[in-house]
Amino acid sequence: MDSKTPTVFFAILLIISSILCLQSRADGTGSVYFLDSDTHNYFQSQPSESKSISLPEVGAAVSVLLGFAPPSTLSSASSAKLNEVLKANPFNRPHAVFLLEINGFEDKQLELGSNSDLSSKAFKSELAIGDADVQLSDEDELSLISLNEPLPMEFTDTDITNFASLFGGSYVNDELESLSGELTIPLANDAQLKLDMSKEADRKFVTGIISLIQNVQRAKQVHEDLVGSGPTPAELINGRFDGFKAFQEQYGNDDIVQKGAELLTTAISKIYSSLQTTYKGEIVGTVVFTKSSPAKQSDTILNIKLATNPSPRWLEEEKEGSNDAARILIAEVLLVRRTLAWITGIILVIATLMGVWFLLYMPLTRDTLLYSNVKLD
């Protein structure tokens, strides 16, 4: 064997590993913005040098903000990093988080402070993208609301008109065909964004923002119902926005892409401001920017996992993935218990009614046991 063979082999391995490393850096990075409250301070002030944060650390931060303990697997270095982001007071937690993932572009295209005051309340950090879980308590202590629920009805020209009015714009619809008009939105510095609803990329971008706004409205209604029904659980409003990706792929580096990013910025600002009003400042935002989208449309980079505590009620629930024998055994146990409970209850009711009847209609004679010690003349 040639002596140069091992050297060539290791050189090839080095080149391949370098390529993979560069690829992972190109597709595996992003950034995260922690948006503070209008009336409370839940985050530390932005340091002069921003440090990178990993996705598991973001998940741990979300858990702490909701009032739950961070994962036990969190390292001491990660715990120290959380202390640099979050306020140290454990009694000062919002117990409500607006978690939004924006996929398909880098955050330099969408500076949150370009036309809003969100940047003054934002703690920004570079993010290493990967899979991570958000470990939370069971579902009885958490209200989990998805922002990617399908809407019951198709979008109409009226929805586009209302959307344009929300941003001070206008929509000229096509009388011959629905969703084919021109949408005009005013932007900063007297600029305008004009979108053609007959184009698929423009329509997906706009309807994606409308869907996001309407699902946030649904989340606010759920919050108001929870407040009126008793103790309010922790609330996580979680969603993903993919509407910008097709828009950018359609126009590339055109100026309209930057204008579209500015429109999305304004939409996020309005959404977050409305949440602040509804929650009276007791909510924070976490906006994650990623360059690449998840493999599945239903996936998010932060997987929400609820801890399960053993409870008798689990006997009544079918656990996904359990075998047929276990389900049959559970059903038999429940049938026996319910049968015994019903039979015992029926016997007690009958015995009680009979006892009451005999007491009420007992004859008053000397032989009566109740009056056996009473002397009657």
Among 330-334, 343-347, 352-356, 357-361, top mean pLDDT goes to 343-347
- Whether residue 244 is found in the same domain as residue 334: no
Residues 298 and 365 in one domain: no
Return the structure tokens found at 319.
């656990």
For residues 301 and 296, what is the distance between their CA atoms, to the nearest angstrom? 11
What pLDDT score does 13 carry? 36
Are 305 and 332 in a shared domain?
no
CA distances from 127 to 19, 65, 120 (A): 21, 19, 20
Residue 144 counted as domain residue: yes
> What's the pLDDT band for 235 if we cut at 50, 70, 90?
very high
Q: How far is CA 30 from the centre of its chain?
A: 19
Residue 377 lies in a domain: no
* Buried-exposed string 225-251: b where 16+ CB fall within 10 A, e elsewhere: eeeeeeeebbbbbbbbbbbbbbbbebb
Chain segment 22-77, per-residue pLDDT in tens: 333 334 567 888 999 888 889 988 776 667 888 888 888 998 999 888 888 888 88
Is the same domain home to 211 and 335?
Answer: no
Tell me how far apart the alpha carbons of residues 320 and 34 are, in angstroms, rounded to a whole number: 35
pLDDT at 330: 75
Residue 227 has pLDDT above 70, yes or no: yes
Task: Confirm whether 18 is domain-assigned.
Answer: no
Q: Is pLDDT of 318 > 50?
A: no
Q: Is residue 248 domain-shared with residue 363, that is, in the same domain?
A: no
Q: Does the global pTM surpass 0.85?
A: no
* Better-predicted residue by pLDDT, 67 or 132: 67
Confirm whether 261 is domain-assigned.
yes
pLDDT interval class at 310 (50, 70, 90)? very low
Q: What is the pLDDT of residue 270?
A: 92
Domain with 335, as residue range(s), is 324-371
Say how many domains are in the chain.
Answer: 2
**319 is a domain residue:** no
Same domain, 337 and 290: no
pLDDT at 377 > cutoff 70: no
Least reliable range by pLDDT among 4-13, 42-51, 115-124: 4-13
